[in-house]
Chain A
Amino acid sequence: MASYSTNEFKGGLKLMLDGDPCSIIENEFVKPGKGQAFNRVKLRNLKTGRVIERTFKSGESVEAADVIELELQYLYNDGEFWHFMDPDSFEQYQADEKAVGESVKWLKEQDVCTITLWNGTPISVTPPNFVILAVTDTDPGLKGDTSGGGGKPATLETGAVVRVPLFIQIGEVLKVDTRSGEYVSRAKED
């Protein structure tokens, strides 16, 4: 089983902690002049996304996590799994509801997402930073107001609800930032 010594710790290193794969965010070396050295580490649990802290005795070894990230194209949802494909090898992967999590509201067929695999199985799905999606529902009553002030909710084709300017109408296509969940601009249709 592969393992890492605390001397190898740095941001991005993937470790197993309490049975879950984690990624190091921050590693701090702590040592009293005349005493025991420690590594105080901040990590992200890659399954839950939660940030945790952990103290290690300097010099100890920790099991490595077999984690890789792939850029995969979203194909379709069969009701239970979301299917993705490697556009180069055509290899397919299926992610369950837990892995897809909150990202589900941004998934549009053919978009390329970042999939984190642990031991070959998807554990998380990150949508592109920007997606282009059509508005399927929004309050039409405010047509003509171009002040841009305020805003209103709009439902997009993937189910996401974002705040948009008052002039946006059903059927329009928008560019949205998935990290903040915020409207960026109208998008031109190809």
Chain B
Amino acid sequence: MATPWEPAASFANIRARAKLLADIRAYFQNTGVLEVETPVCSAAGTTDPAIESFSSHYTGPGYPEGLTCYLHTSPEFPMKRLLAAGSGSIYQICKVFRAAESGPRHNPEFTLLEWYRVGYDHLRLMDDVSGLICSLQSERCEVEKLTYAQAFQRYLAIDPHSASIAELHQCAREQGISLADDFQLPDRDAWLDLLMSHLIEPKLGQDGLCFIYDYPASQASLARIREDEPPVAERFELYWRGVELANGFHELTDAVEQERRFLRDQKVRAAHDQPQMPMDRHLLAALAQGLPDCAGVALGVDRLLMLLSGAQHINDVLAFPLERA
């Protein structure tokens, strides 16, 4: 069989990518956000059990015994160190790497736009995100905002904060998700992910941008938790035409809480036979020094390009996806 050496994406989409990158840079230039670069390869990695890292190895001057390093899955930790050092609002466009993710909307290597606004909370950052995306397209830009609880209430008539695993399981079956009789998931959040990804996500953002915010505290990731009743994570996700496009946080600034979450992640990884990841001590030190109040968001540039160009598969916007890389 002939080696597929040609690009997977059309030149129209390759040119659309160049224009998109230029437009994004112009937006941040106009709003006074500084472009930065941080290391792709780091001795620390993400502990998030839902994300698997690529690892690599350096041996040479300075490291005669060799150094295992991890390709970043997002530039979040070093960008927060810049913020703690007084950078002010910053953004970065970079390739990130996630092992074990490939499909119509996933390539293990993809382009992320990540930015932080000093003094913003997650609600104000959502307006910034829609400001950016609306500036990139000429169609009328409708924006809808729903809390996580409102989305589950509207589409499934269930309370995601209080429903038991048995109730979530029953809801999945009633709504027609076909599962084996002995189907199991590791925890309650995975059941919420099942309902979200299969039943809610496809319906979100069909008439414009749809933000889902105030997540269950158990899905806080690196967001702060607001002690409401029930407590919620000040986190949001953006959906457009049923596609998950961005994830943002009102950033956790508490170093002690951050370390507690790292350690909890490590426990979950150990319980599921996942490798332990070296946690980022630099980040903890930076948080201890003081991270300014800020909100940050990561946006999938390839998916944004898919939506802007009408592509159905991520390979249609990548010059050389994994199979051709």
A interface residues, Cβ below 8 angstroms from B:
7, 17-18, 28-38, 40, 52-58
Contacts and interface: CB of A to CB of B under 8 A. Distances in A.
B137 interface: no
Given A29-B103, A31-B106, A36-B189, A54 B244 contact: no
Most buried by A among B51, B183, B197, B247: B197
Interface string B86-125: 0000000000000011111010000000000000000000
Contact of A36 (B103, B194, B221): B194
Given A34-B247, A36-B189, A36-B193, A55 B177 contact: yes
Interface of B: 48, 50-51, 100-104, 106, 177-181, 183-186, 189-190, 193-194, 196-198, 201, 219, 221, 237, 244, 247, 298
Contact of B197 (A7, A31, A52, A56): A31
B194 A38 contact: yes
A53 B196 contact: no
Nearest to A17: B180
Contacts of B180: 17-18, 54, 56
A153 to B, nearest CB: 40
A54 B172 CA distance: 12
A35 B103 contact: no
A55 B50 contact: no
Contacts of A56: 180
A40 B197 CA distance: 10
B106 A29 contact: yes
B247 A55 contact: no
Contact of A37 (B101, B189, B221): B101
Contacts of B177: 55
Contacts of A38: 193-194, 197-198
B178 A36 contact: no
Contact of A34 (B100, B194, B219): B219
Given A53-B178, A57-B183, A35 B219 contact: yes
B109 to A, nearest CB: 15
Given A52-B178, A55-B179, A57-B183, A31 B194 contact: no
A35 B178 contact: no
Contacts of A7: 100
A29 B197 contact: no
A45 to B, nearest CB: 12
A29 B100 CA distance: 10
Given A54-B178, A54-B179, A35 B193 contact: yes
Contact of A40 (B189, B198, B219): B198
A37 B190 CA distance: 9
A10 B278 CA distance: 34
A30 B190 contact: no
B64 to A, nearest CB: 37
Contacts of A57: 183-185, 190
Contact of A35 (B100, B104, B179, B190): B190
Given A38-B197, A55-B194, A32 B244 contact: yes
Nearest to B220: A34
B104 A36 contact: no
Given A29-B103, A32-B244, A57-B184, 9 more contacts: A31-B50, A31-B103, A33-B50, A33-B244, A34-B247, A35-B193, A36-B190, A52-B178, A54-B179
Contacts of A37: 50, 100-101
